[in-house]
């Protein structure tokens, strides 16, 4: 099978984590390397819909096998918000500090702090679409803890753990995270079609 896949993301943190999780001989090609410098639309109302939209955009425009992933944080007490608005919860700047501050403010008087991260990967391989999902349950901390990771990691404590994702480091996070789980399924699939 094709040994190169375009990873349709502009988030460098995702690229770093995925490079550590994937154990294949597939070479990941960046959007920049294929000349895709534009903002890819993410206008659907589900995480899966957005992952598929991103992958489809690259496949249609550049005719390359590719995958995209979309990740959302779902907080039970907020009716599963921010969900598809995770990146831009506090506004279009995609500012992680502002996003976390907004979540902490909204949960200030909440006892139920349960939350989960969900990742959906959409793979388009020689024109066929496949999806893979990974979920990690947990809760939102009362304050930020740790400086590793990215996004909402300082306020997310995965279930059965005391440390936030931002206190863990990549290896420990990838072993249990939404992205780690989704990419392990993705990896198994790629191994089986070789
Ligand atoms: P691409 O669409 O280009 O891949 P993005 O950053 O816009 O990159 P998403 O649309 O999937 O990615 O937005 C998800 C947001 O959720 C992201 O900006 C982070 O703030 C947050 N996020 C994603 N994965 C996370 C993780 O593992 N830990 C903490 N926060 C995460």
pLDDT in tens, 138-167: 999 999 999 999 999 999 999 999 999 999
Residue 54 alpha carbon, nearest atom of ligand 1: 2
d(CA 69, CA 64): 16
Verify whether residue 112 is a known catalytic residue: no
> Of residues 25, 60, 70, 112, which has the active-site annotation?
70
Tokens read off for 72: 């959302």
β-pair partners for 140: 156
How high is the pLDDT of residue 111? 96
Spacing, Cα 76 to ligand 1 middle (Å): 19
- The Cα–Cα gap between 88 and 70 comes to 13
Rounded distance between C-alpha atoms, residue 55 and residue 101, angstroms: 31
Which residue ranges in the chain fall short of pLDDT 50?
Answer: none
**pTM (predicted TM-score):** 0.95
Q: What is the Cα–Cα distance from 72 to 119, expressed in whole angstroms?
A: 7
Q: How many domains does the chain have?
A: 1
For residue 188, the domain's CATH number is 3.90.950.10
Domain hosting residue 17, numbered range: 4-192
């Amino acid at each position: 099978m094709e040994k190169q896949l375009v990873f349709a993301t502009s988030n460098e943190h995702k690229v770093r984590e995925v490079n550590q999780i994937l154990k294949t001989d597939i070479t990941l090609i960046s959007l920049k390397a294929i000349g895709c410098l534009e903002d890819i639309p993410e206008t659907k109302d589900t995480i899966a819909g957005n992952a598929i939209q991103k992958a489809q955009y690259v496949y249609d425009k550049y005719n390359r096998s590719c995958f995209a992933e979309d990740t959302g944080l779902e907080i039970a007490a907020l009716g599963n918000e921010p969900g598809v608005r995770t990146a831009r919860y506090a506004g279009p700047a995609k500012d992680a500090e502002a996003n976390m501050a907004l979540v902490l403010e909204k949960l200030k008087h909440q006892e139920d702090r349960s939350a989960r991260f969900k990742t959906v990967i959409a793979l388009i391989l020689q024109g066929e679409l496949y999806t893979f999902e990974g979920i990690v349950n947990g809760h939102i901390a009362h304050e930020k803890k740790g400086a590793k990771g990215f996004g909402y990691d300082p306020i997310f404590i995965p279930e059965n753990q005391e440390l936030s994702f931002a206190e863990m480091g990549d290896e420990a996070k990838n072993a249990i995270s939404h992205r780690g789980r989704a990419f392990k399924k993705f990896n198994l699939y790629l191994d089986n079609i070789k």
